[in-house]
Chains A and B, each alone.
Chain A
Amino acid sequence: QQQVKQSPQSLIVQKGGISIINCAYENTAFDYFPWYQQFPGKGPALLIAIRPDVSEKKEGRFTISFNKSAKQFSLHIMDSQPGDSATYFCAASIERGSTLGRLYFGRGTQLTVWP
């Protein structure tokens, strides 16, 4: 059973546009929601993460919006660039004290930004 559902599977955006990727979860015990960016042949790299005590977090062109009641969170990439073309994974985890627990990944979104 997929603990974290991610959509869309693929996304094509014009350069300068906004890319939006959505994720939903069921387990209300999740309290840590990171987004990872992966380029072909490379391991995932942490992009940005949020905890449920805030509804939005912004780092540069990347913003996470979090809706606790709807159990949904999304990644917004503003002013999308061709260099942003990659696969994006949302994930969720239960933090136990200072130790990060297992990550449950979404299926991934392949983003293509056309110049």
Chain B
Amino acid sequence: GAVVSQHPSWVICKSGTSVKIECRSLDFQATTMFWYRQFPKQSLMLMATSNEGSKATYEQGVEKDKFLINHASLTLSTLTVTSAHPEDSSFYICSAHGTGENIQYFGAGTRLSVL
């Protein structure tokens, strides 16, 4: 199956700093990518939908100025958590699907710990 690479897998940062998470489709072109947040023992919560070359669509309650999403190419989307605070600590997961694909492929996730 197709591979989605997410980097880094784990990041620790100080409160007030910004963190960038990358999501790459390795062997296909992803026209749409999705960013999720998952708390321990809970389901995936969709944060935003990212389409290549256009602005991301954020879900209700998700601060677009805090969670910056860029989908500049067909193989790369980035999520930047700006001015991170301890409450932003979570597991962030991206997924992608390409043109003509009816399957979403998920990255391995990024565990963010904000001290």
Contacts and interface: CB of A to CB of B under 8 A. Distances in A.
B83 to A, nearest CB: 26
B102 A100 contact: yes
Contact of A41 (B43, B101, B111): B111
Contact of B43 (A32, A46, A100, A105): A105
Interface in A80-114: 89, 95, 98-100, 102-103, 105-108, 110
A43 B43 contact: no
Nearest to B103: A46
A44 B44 contact: yes
Tell me whether chain A's interface is mostly helix, strand or loop, or mixed: strand
A43 B107 contact: yes
B54 interface: no
Given A41-B109, A42-B109, A43-B93, A98 B44 contact: no
B108 interface: yes
B6 A43 contact: yes
A44 B93 CA distance: 9
B95 to A, nearest CB: 8
Contact of A106 (B43, B102, B104, B111): B43
B101 A43 contact: no
B37 interface: no
Interface of B: 1, 4, 6, 31-32, 34, 41-44, 46, 49, 91, 93, 95, 97, 99-109, 111
27 contacts: A32-B102, A36-B106, A41-B109, A41-B111, A43-B4, A43-B107, A44-B44, A44-B106, A46-B1, A46-B104, A89-B44, A98-B99, A98-B100, A98-B101, A99-B31, A99-B97, A99-B99, A100-B97, A100-B104, A102-B34, A102-B46, A102-B49, A103-B46, A105-B44, A106-B43, A107-B43, A108-B41
